[in-house]
Amino acid sequence: MANTKYIFVTGGVSSSLGKGIIAASLAKLLQARGFKATIQKLDPYINVDPGTLNPYEHGECYVTEDGAETDLDLGHYERFLNVNTSQANNVTTGRIYQSVIEKERRGEFLGKTVQVVPHITNEIKERIQILGQNGDYDIVITEIGGTVGDIESLPYIEAVRQLKWELGDDNALVIHLTLVPYLSAAGELKTKPTQHSVKTLMESGIKADILVCRTEHELSDDIRRKLAIFCNVRQEAVIQSIDAPTIYDVPNMMLEEGLDKVVLKKLALSDDSTPNLDRWNQFLKRHKNPKAEVHIGLIGKYVELQDSYKSILESFIHAGAENEVYVNVEYIHSEFINDSTIHNKISHLDGVLVAPGFGERGIEGKIDAVRYARENDLPFLGICLGMQMGVIEFARNVLQLKGANSTEMDAETKHPVIDLMEAQKEITHKGGTMRLGSWDCELTEGSIIHKVYGTNKIKERHRHRYEYNNKYKEQLENAGMLSTGINPETGLVEIIELKDHPWFVGVQYHPEYKSTVASPHPLFVSFVKAAHDHSVKNKNAKMAQK
């Protein structure tokens, strides 16, 4: 295809309507028809990236192969498309302004007054087109964060207006995602908020080409007609997006509504092919018809907001479908785990995952949970900080190193079994001081982890500052905590497991970032299988007692 086509997804009426899922579902349908599609997210906040944001503010921070800390929507894009994203797929206002200010300091604007239009908008247009210019994609979908009418998203909307005009009619279109609320007192759906939202968009010079309407009830033909007339779109371009049992149903729902057909028609592309969703639908079938159920405790300190652990929860869905089991995830706040509560909270589980995180709040509860899993042969997976808790627990309770800790929690600890890398000790700025992105890891043959991956060398994504302290390696190994994955470049330990335990693995990296519908992550698949084996063994033991 000669030139790349651009699709812009804007939101109106309310935030959190699911622009990311609609964008990912559309991209999935286009991909299933043989087009090469990618998605980028423009975020209107002034943080340079979400790396320093509290998970309660913005959900989890998602990390790409090239080490970019990005919005969690990029996780959806990768899970749906099974294609890696990069730094270019997430742009924030902070990054845009930083770049423009640096250019101004270097004198690149030749003494001109630097303004939002054209300098900021030009920078935005440039970022939007980066992915389209390398020839890798037929279609670039750009999701614009926030809601139309917000002050902070105005420069993005203006950049889209200019680009749409520059690219011409068949090369760009705007999908506006909006809410059609149901008023139970009146017993009807209301179109007025959508009309106002589209009007706001038009005041900025942009006509929506397609309306995707989030709704709790079916849209009647009358309502579709009304929306089409008042919002200046064709009736076939009024697309219903009704609440779905799972986000993975949305591509099929959009296919039924004909979203991909309307898009291809507007972009003057052929819609002769039929989307091939066989693999997707096989996954859905297994996901919706499990043969068994396992209970896994997710032990963390941001459990009130599920988006804080989005990738982990989705990885359980992929691994559950692969094992044909339903993974019932129980959220357990680590601050509420102590000697008197632990039995109640954990004894009925089939597996324990100790989640990643930063800071010292709630870590003693995590350590107690690790101990319980270790002593009771409960399948255990520790991710990042969770792996470090595994090392600390073992050092304290098996090696009897009193007060063993990470220097992140206790700078004065006598036994820093987890410590800052030498190279990091001089750095004072928090942003960008971590080991980020994809790193190599060599696995020990014959280990659990080697069986999990079935290979000697893996690449996994990292996001952490503190490391396993190699000074304690010999002691830990002699006592039974094996280091079965090592980074060949630095010699740092990436994976620990216990010798005499059915399934106990801690990894310094984040496997959840690489799990997709098409390729569930082997570590989660193996962990869920171990939990299922544990559950079956328990049931059999109970039956034998009867």
For residue range 330-366, list pLDDT tens digits in order. Answer: 998 888 888 888 888 898 999 999 988 877 777 888 9
- 519 appears as a binding residue in the annotation: no
Same domain, 214 and 315: no
Would 546 be classed as within a structural domain?
Answer: no
Residue 39 contacts residue 80 (beta carbons within 8 Å): no
Structural domain ending residue among the three candidates 281, 304, 325: 281
Handedness of CA 10, 72, 267, 223 (dihedral sign): negative
Same domain, 477 and 508: yes
- 388 appears as a binding residue in the annotation: yes
| Mean pLDDT, residues 521-541 | 92
pLDDT in tens, 162-172: 999 999 889 99
The whole-number pLDDT of residue 465 equals: 81
Confidence of residue 182 (pLDDT cuts 50, 70, 90): confident
The whole-number pLDDT of residue 55 equals: 61
Q: Where are the beta strands (DSSP E) in 245-314?
A: 292-300
Which of 510, 521, 532, 534 is an active site residue? 510
The whole-number pLDDT of residue 425 equals: 55
What burial class does residue 228 get, using C-beta atoms within 10 Å of its C-beta: 0-12 exposed, 13-18 middle, 19+ buried?
middle
Confidence of residue 58 (pLDDT cuts 50, 70, 90): low
The whole-number pLDDT of residue 428 equals: 47
Confidence of residue 430 (pLDDT cuts 50, 70, 90): very low
Taking CA 489 as the corner, what is the angle to CA 486 and CA 491, rounded to the nearest 5 degrees? 40
The 3-state secondary structure of 379-447 reads CEEEECHHHHHHHHHHHHHCCCCCCCEECCCCCCCCCEEEEECHHHCCCCCCCCCCEEEEEEEEECCCC
What percent of the chain has pLDDT above 70?
Answer: 95
pLDDT in tens, 251-277: 999 999 999 999 999 999 988 888 899
Would 401 be classed as within a structural domain?
Answer: yes
Same domain, 224 and 304: no
Q: Is 512 a catalytic residue?
A: yes
The whole-number pLDDT of residue 426 equals: 52
In the structure encoding, which two tokens stand for residue 259, read together? Answer: 């979203």
- 150 appears as a binding residue in the annotation: yes
Structural domain ending residue among the three candidates 281, 314, 336: 281
The whole-number pLDDT of residue 166 equals: 93
- 390 appears as a binding residue in the annotation: no
The whole-number pLDDT of residue 54 equals: 62
Q: What is the DSSP string of 333-352?
A: EGGG--TTTHHHHHTT-SEE
Structural domain ending residue among the three candidates 263, 281, 299: 281
- 15 appears as a binding residue in the annotation: yes
| Mean pLDDT, residues 307-332 | 93
Tell me how far apart the terminal alpha carbons of the chain are, to the nearest angstrom: 68
Q: Is residue 73 pLDDT above 70, yes or no? A: yes
| Mean pLDDT, residues 392-412 | 90
* Amino acid at site 285: K
Mean pLDDT (the chain) is 89
CATH number of the domain that 127 lies in?
Answer: 3.40.50.300
- 192 appears as a binding residue in the annotation: yes
| Mean pLDDT, residues 438-457 | 93
Same domain, 269 and 338: no
Q: Which has the closest alpha carbon to 459: 511, 505, 387?
A: 511
Same domain, 315 and 196: no
Same domain, 266 and 297: no
User: Lowest-confidence range among 100-109, 431-440, 495-504?
Assistant: 431-440
The whole-number pLDDT of residue 49 equals: 75
- 261 appears as a binding residue in the annotation: no
Would 269 be classed as within a structural domain?
Answer: yes
The whole-number pLDDT of residue 305 equals: 67
H/E stretch holding 545 reads: helix 522-545
Q: Is 360 a catalytic residue?
A: no
Would 130 be classed as within a structural domain?
Answer: yes
Residue 497 contacts residue 449 (beta carbons within 8 Å): yes
Specify the higher pLDDT residue, 233 or 363.
233
- 226 appears as a binding residue in the annotation: yes
Q: Is 61 a catalytic residue?
A: no
- 56 appears as a binding residue in the annotation: yes
Note down the domain range covering 35.
5-281
Same domain, 72 and 188: yes
Q: Is residue 59 pLDDT above 80, yes or no? A: no
- 246 appears as a binding residue in the annotation: no
The whole-number pLDDT of residue 105 equals: 92
Distance CA(254)–CA(263), nearest Å, equals: 11
- 132 appears as a binding residue in the annotation: no
Same domain, 202 and 107: yes
Which residue carries 């939101």 as its tokens?
11
Same domain, 14 and 101: yes
Would 440 be classed as within a structural domain?
Answer: yes
Specify the higher pLDDT residue, 307 or 29.
29
Same domain, 223 and 126: yes
Which of 384, 441, 521, 532 is an active site residue? 384
Confidence of residue 101 (pLDDT cuts 50, 70, 90): very high
- 73 appears as a binding residue in the annotation: yes
In the structure encoding, which two tokens stand for residue 135, read together? Answer: 């020839």
Would 481 be classed as within a structural domain?
Answer: yes
- 301 appears as a binding residue in the annotation: no
Same domain, 457 and 430: yes
pLDDT in tens, 125-148: 999 999 888 888 999 999 998 889
Which of 501, 512, 521, 534 is an active site residue? 512
- 143 appears as a binding residue in the annotation: yes
- 66 appears as a binding residue in the annotation: no
- 151 appears as a binding residue in the annotation: yes
Same domain, 354 and 215: no
The whole-number pLDDT of residue 319 equals: 97
In the chain, the number of structural domains is 2
Helical residues (DSSP H) of 82-115, grouped into ranges: 93-105
CATH number of the domain that 477 lies in?
Answer: 3.40.50.880
